[in-house]
């Protein structure tokens, strides 16, 4: 028995008033089809959640294929949104990459401060913050290095990077002075020199030439041993 079709049925078959169906039928290339599929899965998220999702997708693309793998189109496909929505959050690709680097640095700084507040001694402070840095280098170092290697991103972030480094440096100078009672200029010189130990350990960990645990203990021994040698009233570490 043939039934009369309602206006809604005719609309469903023709696709009129159904933008997702229309986009699906008009898709011509693989990328267009993926975008149409992504649009069908789109969900409403809070702006901050959406922003973090975009940054997560960007990080994943960098880890998979380096900076060259990142484009606004690919990020949009990965997040399942339109490219226009990506531009609403980040006006340029460089701004997107700089925001990702800023987030990584902010997370490291916040975790580092939490570790510092938990430390019950100067040795614990050095051990906990060093381990935290080396763990991030192991897990995210390739991505951070890639971001810093981009001149445009580095230029956008140079003030933030300098500010973070200066704050961290001053914090450890103050902590070392409280522990070892050294003159200010000597403490500054010593912390500046000994901070290169952690940087070199980070390179070893990133290259998988050393695990985080042993690298952390080497850094702790060298840093505490070096500072102890400058304090004539303190016995040297074994």
| pTM, full prediction | 0.69
Split at pLDDT 50, 70, 90, the class of 29 is very low
Q: What is the pLDDT of residue 224?
A: 95
Segment among 26-30, 138-142, 153-157, 177-181 with least mean pLDDT: 26-30
Q: What is the pLDDT of residue 238?
A: 53
What is the sign of the dihedral through the CA atoms of 98, 104, 109 and 114?
A: positive
Split at pLDDT 50, 70, 90, the class of 110 is confident
* Alpha carbons 91 and 54: distance in angstroms, whole number: 13
Residue range 204-224, pLDDT digits in tens: 999 899 999 999 999 999 999
**DSSP H/E element including 4:** none
Q: What is the pLDDT of residue 125?
A: 95
What percentage of the chain has pLDDT greater than the value 90?
A: 60
Give the residue extent of every domain in the chain.
Answer: 1-41, 43-91, 100-230
| 3.40.50.300, 3.40.50.720, 1.10.10.60, 3.30.230.70: CATH of 43-91 | 1.10.10.60
Residue range 112-162, pLDDT digits in tens: 888 888 899 999 999 999 999 999 999 888 888 889 889 999 898 989 889
What is the sign of the dihedral through the CA atoms of 69, 71, 73 and 77?
A: positive
Helix axes 122-149, 184-206, angle to 10 degrees: 60
Q: What is the pLDDT of residue 31?
A: 52
40, 18 in Cβ contact below 8 A? no
């Amino acid at each position: 028995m043939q039934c009369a079709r309602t206006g809604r049925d005719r609309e469903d078959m023709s696709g009129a008033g159904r933008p997702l169906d229309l986009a699906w039928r008009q898709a011509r290339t693989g990328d267009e089809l993926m975008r149409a599929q992504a649009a069908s899965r789109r969900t409403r998220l809070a702006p901050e959640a959406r922003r973090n999702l975009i940054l997560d997708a960007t990080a994943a693309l960098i880890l998979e294929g380096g900076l060259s793998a990142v484009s606004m189109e690919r990020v949009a496909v990965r997040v399942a949104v339109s490219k226009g929505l990506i531009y609403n959050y980040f006006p340029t690709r460089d701004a997107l990459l700089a925001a990702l680097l800023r987030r990584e640095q902010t997370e490291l700084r916040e975790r580092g401060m939490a570790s510092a507040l938990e430390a019950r001694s100067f040795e614990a402070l050095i051990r906990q913050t060093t381990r935290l840095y080396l763990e991030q280098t192991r897990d995210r170092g390739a991505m951070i290095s890639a971001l810093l290697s981009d001149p445009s991103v580095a230029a956008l972030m140079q003030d933030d990077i300098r500010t973070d480094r200066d704050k961290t440096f001053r914090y450890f100078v103050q902590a070392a002075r409280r522990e070892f009672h050294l003159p200010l200029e000597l403490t500054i010189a010593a912390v500046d020199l000994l901070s290169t130990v952690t940087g070199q350990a980070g390179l070893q960990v990133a290259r998988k030439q050393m695990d985080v645990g042993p690298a952390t203990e080497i850094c702790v021994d060298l840093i505490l041993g070096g500072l102890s040698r400058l304090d004539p009233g303190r016995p040297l570490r074994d």
